[in-house]
Amino acid sequence: GRDMVLAMTHEEAVTDIARFEIDSYKRMPRLVYQIQTKWRDDPRPRAGLIRVREFTMKDSYSFDIDQAGLDKQYAAHYLAYFRIFGRTGLPTIVVGADSGMMGGKISHEYMYLSPIGEDTIITCGSCSYTANRQVATFRKEYFPEEMKELEKVHTPECPTIETLAEYLKISTRQTAKAVFMMGTFIDDTNGEEEQKLVVGVIRGDLEIEENKLQNAAKANALRPAHSEEILVAGIVPGYGSVIGIRQDKILVIADDSVAKSGNLVAGANEEGYHYLNSNFARDWTGTVADIASAQAGFTCTECGGALTSSKGVEVGNIFQLGTRYSESMECYYQDENGIQKPVIMGSYGIGVGRLLACLAEEYHDELGLKLPITVAPWQVHLVSLVKDPEIAEELYRRLTDAGITVLYDDRKESAGVKFADADLIGLPIRITLGNRSLKEGKVEVKIRNDMEEQLSFDLASLVDEVKALIKRLENQITDSMYLEEWQLTN
């Protein structure tokens, strides 16, 4: 009769186990892992295994006495995950990421760059800077001016930044844009949810990155505010700003682009009117933070080069959790001086199903899959076209006795059906037993990833030839692997 919770992540469960197992510094460092099912009530499941509500993940969790220990385990996972993705044959890059609900100060994501991805990756072509757009930064221009007097002007039918700039014959960078969101906050005293209007203000030539705004507001969630919710605060949609608005019921987050630029045009909270020469601190105030969205063509903060953007699928992630879970769940250890301290934690995960989906995206053609030999469920697809099953079964036994994994197609189907299914399944090596080649003591071998390469091996030496071919295909994968030099960025 008890309620059952379907876990979207397992940090709490692992911490609960650890707090009873780890009571002394002598029992660390410690690393535990699992391959387990998770559930998330995703409102937009799509794209097969890319985004699903039930999925399998490989997770590991590290426990250390201090930050130095966590750094060591984090670096080990950083490189190990590169090796794992490299061995699968999936090209990935690592990007700086937002820790989000996981907490902690440092996190990285492993991205497979593909148009099917939902994440936007910002990269500098001139240096190594790479980050998820959710946290990406760029070099901003500021336009400080000597403050002028605030002036209210008539701006009919100008509810957008573009129409306003055109009407006033000014650049969009001379305007201040307000974005209205409803934030969900958790009351620390009673744990109850509270709704509050969050206003993000940014210069008109830039866009707000919602994830940055949510982090700056310290909100649990954000959604676009409805017109009625905006009006209740005394703000007029389309002509709104926080000038003259009581801020005890709203939360204002100002991008540094408006805080460091002067005399901007802002809404007057009256239909058809705006203010000229609004200035942060004099006319309105708020918490200053970077809430701007990085875009292609913007300037890199590291080297001044031009940023580019691309789509990616997150296939793995690593988090420095710190004491986020150990303090809240009382997972403490006793140090060498007998003092109770919180365990320092890390969390690391690979999406197994999503990884397979990305491999299918990377390795396929119009006929089907072309799976790398390091991830294929079988190394060889054995297709028999001869009438005597003993010949194929004997070859099957020889291959499997040599440690080669084989999918044996002994169906009573035509050659065309068997070949089409073999191409669809996409195993790396196809061995065909045909009457004509057998008369010459040979078998036909085809490499799925190279349909032009047609091989013919003697039946007597086939096992050794196939083992050499497997080794060659494995080397092609490992030779393409690369490891990035580990750099811990704070």
**Which position has the higher pLDDT, 104 or 346?**
346
* Residue 144 lies inside a defined structural domain of this protein: no
pTM of the full structure: 0.82
pLDDT, mean of residues 227-234: 94
At 489 the pLDDT is 41
Q: How far, in Å, CA of 371 to CA of 392, rounded? A: 24
Per the domain annotation, does 295 fall within a domain?
no
Using CA atoms, how far apart are residues 338 and 129, in angstroms rounded to an integer?
Answer: 44
| Judgement on whether residues 16 and 130 belong to the same structural domain of the protein | yes
45: domain CATH number is: 3.30.930.10
Is residue 111 situated within a structural domain? Answer: yes
Q: Which of 267, 289, 311 is the last residue of a domain?
A: 289
Domain-located, residue 249: yes
**Do 182 and 212 fall within a single domain?**
yes
Banded model confidence at residue 481, pLDDT cuts 50, 70, 90: low
Range of the structural domain that residue 35 is part of: 11-138+300-361
pLDDT for residue 40: 78
Assigned token pair, 462: 């086939």
- Could you tell me if 278 and 319 lie in one domain? no
Is residue 423 assigned to a domain? yes
Q: For 25-83, what is each residue's pLDDT tens digit?
A: 999 999 999 998 888 777 777 767 777 878 888 999 999 999 999 999 999 999 999 89
Q: What is the pLDDT of residue 278?
A: 96
pLDDT-derived band at 101 (thresholds 50, 70, 90) equals: low
**What is the average pLDDT value for the chain, to the nearest integer?**
91
Q: Residue 93: is its pLDDT beyond 80?
A: yes
Residues 169 and 240 in one domain: yes
Query: How many CA atoms does the CB half-sphere of 454 hold within 13 Å?
Result: 4
Instruction: Tell whether 215 and 172 lie within a shared domain.
Output: yes
Lowest mean pLDDT among 19-23, 97-101, 320-324: 97-101
240 within 8 A of 250, measured Cβ to Cβ:
no
Domain match, 31 and 125 both:
yes
At 89, the amino acid letter reads G
Q: What is the CATH number of the domain that holds 222?
A: 3.90.960.10
Instruction: Tell whether 488 is covered by a domain.
Output: no
Residues 54-64 pLDDT 10s:
888 899 999 99
Of 239, 270, 289, which one is at a domain's C-terminal end? 289
Which residues, other chains included, contact 111 with Cβ-Cβ below 8 Å and sequence gap of 6+?
92, 93, 94, 95, 117, 119, 121, 132, 312, 313, 314, 315
User: Do residue 306 and residue 390 come from a single domain?
Assistant: no
Q: How far apart are CA 8 and CA 59, in angstroms?
A: 12
pLDDT surpasses 50 at 6: yes
pLDDT digits (tens, 9 = 90+) for 106-152: 899 999 999 988 899 999 989 889 999 999 999 999 999 999 999 99
Same domain, 332 and 431: no
Tell me: do 355 and 373 sit in the same domain.
no
- Give the per-residue pLDDT at 482: 55
Residue whose C-alpha is closest to residue 316's, from 93, 73, 31? 93
pLDDT tens digits, 374-429: 999 999 999 999 888 899 999 999 999 999 999 999 898 999 999 999 999 999 99
User: Is residue 487's pLDDT more than 70?
Assistant: no
Residue 143 within a domain: no
Which tens digits make up the pLDDT trace of 330-365?
Answer: 999 999 999 999 999 999 999 999 999 999 999 999
Domain end point (choices 316, 346, 361):
361
Q: Which residues is 178 bridged to in the sheet?
A: 201
Residue 271, pLDDT > 70, answer yes
CATH number at residue 435: 3.40.50.800
For residue 54, the model assigns a pLDDT of 82
Pair (274, 304) in one structural domain: no
- Say how many domains are in the chain: 3
Judge whether 119 lies within some domain. Answer: yes
* 272 lies in the same domain as 315: no
Q: For residues 32 and 108, state if they share a domain.
A: yes
